[in-house]
Amino acid sequence: MDLIILDIDGTLTDTEHVDEHSIVGALEEVLGVSDLSTDWTMYRTSTDGGIVAEVVERVHGSVRQEVVEDVTKRFYGMLEDHYTTSPDLFAPMPGARDVLATLREMGYCVAIATGCWRESALFKLRVAGIEHVGVPLATADDSHDRAEILRRAIDLAQQWNDIQGFRNIWYVGDGVWDARAAATLGIGFIGIAAGQKADRLRAEGATIIVDAPADVTAVLRQSRARQTASHSSTV
Ligand SMILES: [Mg+2]
């Protein structure tokens, strides 16, 4: 069996900007800081939990849990306010509503691994209309480190499918941190990006980059066809 793991923000849902706006807004409001960098590669980890912990530590000298909880609460409040006023900010990426079911029909196991918190992940998937019943979900509640979140998704997928391991594993994501996490684990990577964002993924060594989840199945079909061809040429 092969496993395809998908990221959420910027991959399944077009929520990268609203998420960024809400996390920075909550941190600035609760901590009284300003001009926080939104270049997440500058942080120790690029997950919601990791970013909040790092900024709280920078301001308070330690990761004070009650402050983290205040920021988290404010973050959810902002996310919901944005949804109330501008639900279009939570649109699914092209093809995202079908990709999980289509991959399963093609015989793949699927899972979701995201750097956002579980509650935020479930909210975004729900409002974007992405059906994910029976799909293992690993989030920043599992770890602040994206490679660890990916490992958790793989473990969950093994348990849910009652198998020992996967032949091939791919991570589908849009961030340089996604490409790095896939490289750390030695698994395949499919980038979802265009323009400068795609250039940044290429600079990380990504060789397969498509515009949207709608194109992922075509890439995998081509990969399978190549594998079949190379197998039959060696038989
Ligand atoms: Mg993303």
- How does pLDDT run across 127-167, given as a tens digit for each residue? 999 999 999 999 999 999 999 999 999 999 999 999 999 99
CA of 233 to the centre of ligand 1 (A): 38
The answer to pTM > 0.85 is yes
CA of 7 to the centre of ligand 1 (A): 6
pLDDT the model gives residue 235: 54
Instruction: For residue 152, give both structure tokens.
Output: 């958790």
CA of 174 to the centre of ligand 1 (A): 5
Measured distance CA(177)–CA(201) in Å, rounded: 9
pLDDT the model gives residue 234: 62
Instruction: For residue 93, give both structure tokens.
Output: 């990426």
Q: Is the dihedral of CA 192, 5, 83, 92 positive or negative?
A: positive
CA of 81 to the centre of ligand 1 (A): 21
CA of 14 to the centre of ligand 1 (A): 9
